[in-house]
Amino acid sequence: LCGADELAVVSLPSYACQRHTPLLHHNTVLIDALSILAENAELSENEGRGVAFRRAGALLKSLPQEIRRVEQLRGQPCLGDHSLRVIKEVLEDGVCCEVETTKESRQFKAMKALTGIFGVGAKTADRWFREGIHTPSDLQRSGHNLNRAQRAGVQYYDDLNQPVRKAEADAIGLIVEKAVSEVLPGAKITLIGGFRRGKETGHDVDFLITHPEEGREEGLMAKVVSWLEAQGFLLYHKTTRNSYLESKDGPARPPSNMDRFERCFSIFRLTREESSMLSQCSGSRSWMAVRVDMVVSPYSQFAFALLGWTGSKLFERELRRWAVHERAMTLSSHTLYDSTKRQYLRANSEEEIFALLGLEYIPPCGRNA
């Protein structure tokens, strides 16, 4: 006779893009443990190991019930020996040694604090760590030359490490909407990234901008940024121009994972007037710094850009992996290329892209892998 715990959970498909991954799930403690190890691997630039832990975590997020015994996971994909060991230990002892040691390690703490500075990646943080720099204050005392992004990152460190809430994202949405309609009537903006997936907080706010008449979007970002700057909304911005070279029937170069849209990585100055819910800005301050990403896409690529920028990062990776390995196709935020037919496939909606890939449609709220 077997109790409810013994009931086998139906085996899930192995690619995250073949299943729904909701925001709220049933195995938070296990997923948190795996996330620490994933994060540590990523900070140590061990990408493969990071992905393995992320895939294991995402599998657990898709499960319809809480796991109490590791045997319940028999037959599930994505769970390597290492991940299973961690899961077993947490289930049996409440904690996993490796996870606790990692959390407490000076290196992990320092790497998190340093990469928490906007403009600082794992490579730079690691170099500083080995010089004895463990915190943003150490960094300031060190007298290191910082680039413009890093200086802004240090200056607004506290604000940028507070989660951005949906109300603030909406307030920024109104500002971007105003900017866009002032400089190019008819242009439309869409909230993308984590907030489109239904998250209630994020580390930034992401927007995709397009115009229904192909070509009208050219040069749009510069105009939007000028307008925002003139109005005093920008504390920092770095615009990268569109480097997507389109030949007659598609991209001149094969699509890469890093897309080539015109984009702007920025820091907004959001005031109390714009957002009535600024409880988190300290003391007498009437504004807060918020990270905002804006991307412009030509209308013909909008569906691909929307799919590519809605995330999560693991979901995107899984979509591209599915496309290559299961369909001999190359998916990017610009296009879908069919290697067998040797042609680019057009799509006007995310639903069409899933269909072209032979996948059931997963709505944004199910892409929280």
Catalytic residue annotation: 204, 206, 293
Q: Measured from the CB atom, is 57 or 202 closer to ligand TTP?
A: 202
- Annotate 289-334 with DSSP letters as a single string: EEEEEEEE--GGGHHHHHHHHH--HHHHHHHHHHHHHHHSEEE-SS
Shortest reach from residue 192's CB to Mn ion, in Å: 8
If the CB atoms of residues 290 and 359 are measured against Mn ion, the closer one turns out to be 290
Q: Which is nearer to Mn ion, 244 or 265 (CB)?
A: 265
Output 116 or 363, the one with its CB closest to Mn ion.
116
Report in angstroms the alpha-carbon separations of 219 from 191, 215, 223, 263, 296.
20, 9, 7, 11, 9
Shortest Cβ 313–ligand TTP spacing (Å): 5
Q: Residues binding Mn ion: what is the number (CB under 5 A)?
A: 7
Nearer Cβ to Mn ion (50/202): 202
Q: In the block, which residue shows the tokens 């400089």? A: 183
Residue 142 vs 257, nearer CB to Mn ion: 257
Which of Mn ion, ligand TTP, none sits in contact with 313, Cβ below 5 to 8 A by type? Answer: ligand TTP
Q: Cβ neighbours of residue 86 under 8 Å, at least 6 residues apart?
A: 30, 33, 34, 37, 96, 98, 99
246 binds, among Mn ion, ligand TTP, none (CB under 5 to 8 A by kind): none
- Residue 312 interacts with which of Mn ion, ligand TTP, none, CB < 5 to 8 Å by class: ligand TTP
- Give me the DSSP letters along 240-274: E-----EETTEESS---SS---EEEEEEEEEETTT
Smallest distance from ligand TTP to CB 202, Å: 3
Residues from 194 through 213 that contact Mn ion (CB under 5 A): 194, 202-204, 206
- With CB cut-offs between 5 and 8 Å by kind, which of Mn ion, ligand TTP, none does residue 168 bind? none
- Give the shortest CB-132-to-Mn ion separation in angstroms: 28
Residue with tokens 């006007």: 348
Is residue 126 within 8 Å of residue 205, measured between CB atoms? no
Whichever of 153 and 194 has its CB closer to ligand TTP, that residue is: 194
The Cα 123–Cα 316 span in angstroms is 24
Beta strands in the chain (DSSP E): 164-165, 188-192, 201-202, 205-210, 234-240, 246-247, 250-251, 262-271, 287-296, 329-331, 336-338, 343-345
- Interface with ligand TTP by CB under 6 A: which residues? 193-194, 199, 202-204, 206, 258-259, 293, 308-309, 311-313, 316, 333
Query: Per the omega criterion (within 30 degrees of 0), is the bond before 312 cis?
Result: yes
Does 144 contact Mn ion by CB under 5 A? no
Chosen from ligand TTP, Mn ion, none, partner binding at 259 (C-beta under 5 to 8 Å by type): ligand TTP
**With 0-12 CB in 10 A as exposed, 13-18 as middle and 19+ as buried, what is 271?**
middle
The angle that helices 97-104 and 81-93 make with each other, rounded to 10 degrees, is 90
Closest residue to bound Mn ion by CB: 193
Give the one residue of 57, 153, 193, 364 binding Mn ion; rule: CB under 5 A.
Answer: 193
Site for Mn ion in 290-319 (CB under 5 A): 293
The secondary structure of residue 120, as a DSSP letter, is: -
Taking the complex as a whole, how short is the minimal distance between the CB of residue 94 and Mn ion, in angstroms? 29
Query: x/- string (CB under 5 A) for Mn ion, residues 92-111?
Result: --------------------
Residues that bind Mn ion (CB under 5 A): 193-194, 202-204, 206, 293
